[in-house]
Amino acid sequence: MMTLSDLTVRQAKAAEKTYSIPDTDGLGLVVARTGGKSWHLRYYWLGKQKRISLGNYPEIGLREARTLRDEARALLAKGVNPHTDRKQKRHAVKLAADYTFKAVFDAWVEHRRKEIKEGRNSTLSQILRIFNKDVLPSLKQMSIYDIRRPQLLGVLARIEERKAFTTAEKVRTWLGQLFRYALVIVEGLEANPASDLDVVAEPKPPVNHNPYLHLPELPEFLHKLRLYNPRGWQTQLGIRLLFLTGVRTGELRLATPDQFDLDRGLWIIPPQIVKQLQDEMRKAGKRPQDVPPYIVPLSVQAIEIVRYLLGVMRPAQVHLLTHRSELKKRISENTLNAALKRMGYPGTYTRVTAFIRQWKAAGGASRRPAFVPLHFPPGEAFQFDWSREYAFVGIRPFR
């Protein structure tokens, strides 16, 4: 059998019917009635003759067509069907295009939205902010299949170079979660390049904790608070309420009128607002309705503050402490922290909570029995009413 030449291929003309000019080892040039030319390979698979297209002429020349033929025959020698191999490769190319890092990240974020609340300082907002700044610029266009540890280590190294060790630790954790999610949803992904990244993490420097208030400092602090900007009365009352209850700023900022039962002296906080209960729900896979609320007993002073704030609420106001200019929004966390700083107490509200913890740990609480309501509905939890001990550090009831 004569082999094809470039001249023969070039001069092949259309006829009334489509015909084929054979080369060797199953390769042939097919000339259509319209004049189009294409390369085909005939081969046997499981005793049946098959045919596969190798591309069009002149895009694929004779020499390249023979190379493609030889590659297909090599697959046959290994027991691989060239047609199946081509379909798998095309599918892999499509998957690589569909599953960019950005596409998988977006899917993972949507999945996380089901289990974590949104907010300015929520975990979700941190993920979006940090990934947009530190991760997506270098990885978003890459196929998830092509990402290896060196790329991830490069991202983390750039974060650690600016001494943002806490951010780097968070990114390592989130990348691990993202790739674990990807292993489940991305077809053909077999490895997690984000595993064991902590092995080469830069050691974090010693933590300098924010200073906390000592008991002798408390009267001066309360005196400054009493003299705080009269126009900032809402902020002053908010800080007082934090001291009287020991709750987190987030729980205070999300407080609404329906959470208070002043007749029983209780602040009943829904579990989806309390950070500890959020963690419990996440770990146990529980719904908010399956978790009892967080009960905070209110002292006489706290009840007076809440009653006053409820009495001055305006019709459009939603939260107990409202945004200065937009009544439907809650007070900003920065408002409370900035007030403490202006009073000369850096470290934000952390100083307050640290004081409460240290004071209790040092046995500062009086040995007198603390007031606790006699009855709680089944399943309700409550926190110790340490606020009654204010009497021993010179705090006057709010007027």
Q: How far is CA 143 from CA 97, 146, 278, in A?
A: 7, 5, 34
**123: part of which helix (H) or strand (E)?**
helix 123-130
Walk me through the domains of the chain, giving residue ranges and CATH numbers: 6-84 (3.30.160.390), 99-200 (1.10.150.130), 215-393 (1.10.443)
Q: What is the pLDDT of residue 388?
A: 42
Residue 260 phi, psi (nearest 5): -105, 130
pLDDT at residue 352, rounded to an integer: 58
The SS3 assignment for 30 reads: strand
pTM of the model: 0.53
Q: What are phi and psi of 54, to 5 degrees?
A: -110, 5
pLDDT at residue 205, as a whole number: 74
pLDDT given at position 1: 55
Write down the pLDDT at residue 212: 64
pLDDT at 359: 56
CB-facing half-sphere around the CA of 209: CA atoms within 13 A: 9
Q: Over the chain (399 residues), what is each successive 10-residue block's mean pLDDT?
A: 82 90 90 91 90 90 92 91 82 72 92 70 84 94 90 94 91 94 86 88 71 73 78 85 86 92 92 71 64 88 94 90 84 80 67 57 49 42 42 38
Q: What is the pLDDT of residue 374?
A: 38
φ, ψ of residue 263 in degrees (nearest 5): -65, -35
Q: Residue 87: which H helix or E strand, with range?
A: helix 82-98
Q: What's the pLDDT score for residue 282? A: 62
Closest CA to 275 of 257, 256, 259, 253: 253
In the numeric block, which tokens belong to residue 80?
Answer: 């691989």
C-alpha–C-alpha distance, residues 347 and 370, integer Å:
30
The conformation of residue 120, written as its DSSP 8-state character, comes to T
Report the distance separating Cα 328 and Cα 316, nearest Å. Answer: 6
SS3 content of the chain, % helix, strand, coil (to 5): 50, 10, 40
Spatial separation of the C-alpha atoms in residues 179 and 192, rounded to whole Å? 6
Cα dist from 83 to 7, 62, 86, 182, 350, whole Å: 29, 20, 5, 29, 65
